[in-house]
Amino acid sequence: MKFDKQTLIIAALAIAGFAGGIGVNWYADRPRQQTGGQEIAGLLWPNPRSVTGVNLIDQDGKPFTDSNLQGQWSLVFFGFTRCPDVCPTTMSVLKDAFAQMQRDPTQPLPRVIFISVDPERDTPEILNSYVGFFDRSFVGLTGNMQNVTALTRSLGIVYMKVPLEGDDYTVDHSAAILLLDPQARIVGLLSPPHTSADIISSVRQIQHFVTTAR
């Protein structure tokens, strides 16, 4: 995904203006911290932020709110189904990482959640086919533009519509993956470029740290 100069400027201003979001407070810090003499990539600590105000619809047309994030680890990625490069690549990496983590029943398995930043075109039916292509257990979420925008702003996720020829458009967006713990707190930020090995390593280290730090 290519970002022109104007897009980068607008995105930077958007991050800076996100009151109360992750933006300035968390993205300004490198998501790689020393804990007990061990460097953990992606760890956001201390004071992990709770995800609230979720009012979306899943790929089956069912409501998806804050309560649906409780009780299970989650890897959350924002994108759109017509994305030509970043999204299918990241979803493929998540598919591979998920498959490998499934083989270890001794560790908690995070579910994968894909949230569309193109809700005008990404209907539940389209999301059902899209996430199902990678893994039938993956969750796809969409909703009205107002609710999607409110959620992305609260989390410091940047996206913007970019006009193309005619009435067509694409969407530039953040490519980070958020790791949520079973209390729906953002405890990890996995920055691109993503590999399945890096995702697995970061998830397992963060899970161990968060669990033992309670």
Q: What is the pLDDT of residues 68-100, one digit of tens each?
A: 999 999 999 999 999 999 999 999 999 999 999
Domain boundaries in the chain?
5-212
- For residue 213, CA distances in Å to 1, 36, 209, 210 come to 38, 11, 6, 5
- Which pLDDT tens digit goes with each residue over 182-213? 999 999 999 999 999 999 999 999 999 998 87
CA dist., res. 74 & res. 172, Å (int): 23
Q: What is the value of pTM for the model shown?
A: 0.84
The CATH code belonging to domain 5-212 is 3.40.30.10
- pLDDT value, residue 27: 37
Average pLDDT value for residue range 36-60: 86
The Cα–Cα gap between 41 and 199 comes to 9
Mean pLDDT of 127-154: 97
**What are residue 56's DSSP bridge partners?**
64
Rounded to 10 deg, the angle between the 124-134 and 86-102 helix axes is 50
> Mean pLDDT score of the chain, rounded to an integer?
85
